[in-house]
Amino acid sequence: MAKKWKVMVGTMVLSLIVAIGASLTAFAASPYEKTFTMANGASVTVNNIIEVEEIENFGYGETRYIVKAPVTITFHGELDLDKTNVAKWVDEEGLYLVDVVDNVATLTEPTDFGYGIFPVFQGQNFGDNQPILLFVVADDGETADEVEPAPSTEPAETTDHLLAQPTTAKVLVNGVEVRFEAYNIDDNNYFKLRDLAMALTGSEKNFDIGWDAEANAISLTSGTAYTSVGNELALSGDSNPKGAVATTSAIYLDGEEVSFTAYNINDNNYFKLRDVARAFNIGVGWDADTKTITIDTSEDYSE
């Protein structure tokens, strides 16, 4: 099932969906397949190509392939699945990611905004290959707005998949700079709970964290020294955006269940900084001139 991502990188999306000075070079031939070779010798094959569209000033390559549904995309080689995406643009602000299962993705729906294949194989980085741009039409050649959608037989999607951008702001904790691996989602900053607990160790508003795997529950205890597990404040050095999925764990503060906005990013839970600050009455601030987040345990929380 396709999963929706809300995209904050507007420039990238607009570049991918708006063709400036487009000129169409059509090849009225039977559908054929094409294999694209990547920088490290791995490859990806796309079938049911019916036309090639040459586009000027596109920004992400000057060729877009018109393909007839259903389209099969086959990756040949070991993928970095954290970075390999097949994306369907649905509007200027959002996209769906198409599942890549056993190195294969299938496109069955036409779209007026197009698809992009972002292939990253083992040993490659995002910038090693240009995205492969596709425009899918129905079997009869109609575009998305001309096709009556069939009733869905799949269960409704309940989990939003968002794009988390690494936070580049400086963070001061009680006046001292602390480096966090944090992310920004919808203009809110998200931090690992254990990173925050470690950074606040020894302060008047420190807290401890417990985890009950059987109950899928996180417990927070205020006014208690934090018990380290040994990997707090670790930095991966990875500056790429990540997918974010809503955290399903129950959260208890001093024995009472509470509500936090939290996401699982790269197998770690990240919590909205302001939710944590509000719960423990910690002052937080933002200096737009210096792009600095401040966390001050001597101050009370304020909106």
CB-based contact 114:17 (threshold 8 Å)? yes
- CB-count burial class (<10 Å; 0-12, 13-18, 19+) for 12: middle
The mean per-residue pLDDT over the stretch 81-110 comes to 80
Report the alpha-carbon distance of residue 111 to residue 90 in Å, rounded.
7
Mean pLDDT, residues 52-60 taken together: 66
Q: Which residue has the tokens 């009869």?
A: 140
The larger pLDDT score, comparing residue 49 to residue 54, is at: 49
Q: How many residues does the chain have?
A: 303
% of the chain surpassing 70 pLDDT: 79
Which of 30-39, 106-115, 136-145, 153-162 is modeled with the greatest confidence? 30-39
Nearest one of 170, 256, 248 to 219, comparing CA atoms: 256
Residue 59's pLDDT band (cuts 50, 70, 90): low
| Residue 1 confidence (pLDDT) | 41
The confidence score (pLDDT) of residue 3 equals: 43
Residue showing tokens 């606040």: 200
Instruction: Over range 42-68, report the average pLDDT.
Output: 82
Residue 2 has pLDDT above 70, yes or no: no
pLDDT score of 141 more than 80 = no
- Virtual CA dihedral for 185, 260, 268, 175, nearest 10 degrees? 70
Mean pLDDT score of the chain? 81
> In the structure encoding, which two tokens stand for residue 249, read together?
């764990």
Question: Quick check: 268 pLDDT over 60?
Answer: yes
Strands 242-246, 262-265: pairing kind: antiparallel
Residues 6+ positions from 149 with CB-CB distance below 8 Å: none
pLDDT computed for residue 161 by the predictor: 58
| Domains in the chain: boundaries | 3-146, 161-296
Q: Helix, strand, or coil here: 288? A: coil
pLDDT at 92: 54
Alpha-carbon distance of 286 to 248, in angstroms, equals: 29
Answer yes or no: is pLDDT of 279 > 90.
yes
Read off the pLDDT of each residue in 256-282 and give the average, rounded to a whole number: 93
DSSP 10: H
Overall average pLDDT of the 190-209 stretch: 96
Order across the sheet with 176-177: list the strands: 176-177, 170-173, 292-296, 283-287
Burial of 223 (0-12, 13-18, 19+ CB in 10 A): exposed
Owner of token pair 């990173």: 195
pLDDT at residue number 255: 96
Q: What is the DSSP letter of 60?
A: S
Is 120's pLDDT higher than 50? Answer: yes
Task: Name the percent of the chain lying above pLDDT 90.
Answer: 47
Taking residues 284-301, report their average pLDDT.
96
